[in-house]
Amino acid sequence: MALTVGELLATITVDESGVDAGLSRAEQAVRASATTIASDAERAGRQAGDALGDGLATTAASAVRDAGGDMADAGGDVGEATGGSLRERLSSSLKVGLAGIGVAAGALLMTGFGQALEQGQITGRLGAQLGATPAEAKKYGEIAGAMYADAVTEDFQGAADAISATMRAGIAPPDATNAQIQSIATKVSDLSSTFELDLGQTANAVGQMLKTGLAKNGTEALDVLTKGLQNMGPRADDIADTFNEYSTIFRN
């Protein structure tokens, strides 16, 4: 059972110099063990990440368990450094603390693995929707990750949906760079969320404006659509459908 600071001070009756020396050794051991814990966690993370990349979920889980074991060993080193009765009195609280660190690290690693697996599945589905090669799908996944990191969308799936709608509507030029695709997909997503429009409907309206020559590029088409939504107020609810259905008439 862990002692309070007051109880610990009342119990220790040895010479102060010995106590100070013991505490100094304990402090050094804690610092050394903290370094060991960080190193072990990093190593376990690399092992689990490599296993995940190879599709070996079982190996990844084993790496997490090994990390917990290494952290427990590091905790044992701290206990040995203190010595005597002081070691016995502190060991239980140290073990509890280190066990908590191990559990937290394991939970963090598993959360990261779960997110990586989910994002991998979303990227694969996005590539299939667009008929993309593995290299192209990877590129789209990187763009989705950047959009999510920039808080353009609430989650990775939302970013993938915006990219899918943008590319399927033919808004981005064939030789578009990652930055261009990200910029256009971001504008499509922003326009859709700001005016509460369907994502696909918004992208298709922009695509129709390009096909019929009402706009020279995706950015110009998005600007025209945005201006119309801002100026028409409540009457703008059907503007995306209007551009989808009557773009040819508008051109003539």
Amino acid letter, residue 175: D
Same domain, 10 and 108: yes
Same domain, 102 and 184: no
Question: Which carries the bigger pLDDT value, residue 80 or residue 199?
Answer: 199
Integer-rounded Cα radius of gyration of the chain:
29
| Greatest mean pLDDT range, 46-55, 64-73, 91-100 | 91-100
Mean pLDDT score of the chain, rounded to an integer?
70
pLDDT score for 176: 92
How do residues 149-193 score in pLDDT, each as one tens digit? 999 999 999 999 999 999 999 999 878 999 999 999 999 999 999
Q: Which domain holds residue 80?
A: 5-122
Distance CA(242)–CA(83), nearest Å, equals 81
Distance CA(13)–CA(11), nearest Å, equals 6
Show Cβ contacts of residue 211 under 8 Å, excluding neighbours closer than 6 positions: 170, 247
How do residues 112-151 score in pLDDT, each as one tens digit? 656 778 888 999 999 999 999 999 999 999 999 999 999 9
Contact yes or no for 183/146 (Cβ under 8 A): no
DSSP letters of 111-135? HHHHHHHHHHHHHHHHHHHHT--HH
Distances (CA, A) of 23 to 20, 76, 146: 5, 16, 48
pLDDT score for 55: 43
The token pair at 136 is 């192209």
Torsion angle (degrees, nearest 10) of CA 203, 217, 221, 129: 0
pLDDT score for 209: 86
How do residues 28-47 score in pLDDT, each as one tens digit? 554 554 445 445 544 544 45
Give the chain's domain count: 2
- Answer whether residue 127 is part of any domain: no
Same domain, 146 and 224: yes
**Is the whole model's pTM more than 0.85, yes or no?**
no
**End residue of a domain, out of 122, 153, 178:** 122
The token pair at 105 is 């690290």
Distances (CA, A) of 55 to 7, 126, 134, 137: 52, 19, 16, 18
